[in-house]
Structure 1
């Protein structure tokens, strides 16, 4: 037996490996077979830290905004159902004005409830406004199923949109220690950075942020009326502290305006009830309920919503107008529209 040449050991090993050409080379590193989960990036974690610091600096303003939302929630809880509907319509219409849809509360309400439109109304604006109203007033929660909440028609790479939503959701989950009002602001401003919506379109992220800001369980108030407080809260840029400051201010201003509207409605309803006690039948009572829920009412609309004949509706509208409870706003003999004389909420 011949001993192997100690000086040619490396050559012999190379020859042996060359002979085993059919054996796959070992991997450089072990593959990761775990399913990928959405994770927050370092940049998003840094933003969360900035928002947490901003929240600490604005704790007094945040507490006042939370107090006002609590007052508004209690008023809606003890008030008629129409109050919530009216505030949601007002917020949706105001969002439309901020995002480029020039729709009044009255036209949006007619389209949402009865699918009635006016000549010249833009169909896309009506649908966007209707979507905003339904999402503000409805039961769907953005954090419990974003795809269902958005209800988009799939266009292009749906999987890419799903990935973006997962990444955004992971960041919101990581920021869950923020107060709901602050978390709503963070969600709103993170939305375009995640690339979910169309560039420059603030409607979806504003509705999502408003819903998150009022996400307390069992609350009658389902959204924070941000747009009713002005456009600054939705359009602010700069540091996290500046964005959160304007967001909190928008919540406070919007809640204050909504509270004023409800107090005016409360006073008007009490006065209307007292001044119509001598009227017979139930039609006037149904009309009063309708005027509390909808800013503008036409005779055909009242007929459809109350189930009462046109003649009875018109007779009671005239009676309410004669008593100064409602006013006709078109000054026309046809296609007339009435509104409750509740005063101005600013």
Structure 2
């Protein structure tokens, strides 16, 4: 994606802080975002071994309130929102009428009639239009709060240990997907024990105008700033799908390993999702040749699919990839990936590639 005078790149509240830190900035989903600071490998290893902090303020936040808030979200998502108690969060999908995905999202239950949704940055406008269209007939109020919030992700095995001296809540009592108010380094925030790296951690919702100050203080206590490059290698090792790669409007979401996200209830696109997916998402490991999105996957010389995400894994020390292949060819052990006209051996491995 490129910037033009008509479509300037958006900036998060931390843009100036990234420039001060010497970050290499790149266009991402319409935003000017840091891809790395000192280097992808160093930032990746910091999150795997200690703790790092990401700017994810480009993500969108929608608030859903009203007597029908739960019923509305039950209708427009595939997971069971009614199981959420206040103070709990849930990974979920927004399906379209055909059974593809408008987006994959996180749902946070604030109260009996109040929810906060976090959506992908590149899908904010699309998701907003979809939800407004679906809201007809429900007693709900929708508010787009995307510009109100800064969102930081503190991730890594030492995330709790490093934050605990600076927060007024006993973090050890908060389980995965907990969502709660706290004071962190003097700032009133919302903390969620969620993340996208395969590590423990907390996502920090802070007022947009306070995000830069909080970021600076988090770096001062020893957290390593990490960019989009490390975020991608971390999520890929953890086998996490990325919208626009493993999920899309025209891809059957149950091609992934996330069948648990669909519960037995009435929802938008139910008939399409119940149909058998024509392709399956598999993990591939290669010996030394990194592969990228779009590279053909071959079985006995025949193209049976393509790579959706690929990288050279810093943790595992060899290239890894996720690929969508024909359902009838998804249980084989050995494939090839075509790179610039040459086929390279790849073996199927179970997802995730990495699990702490």
TM-score by length of 1: 0.26
Higher strand share: 2
Which has the greater radius of gyration? 1
Higher helix share: 1
TM-score w.r.t. the length of structure 2 is 0.26
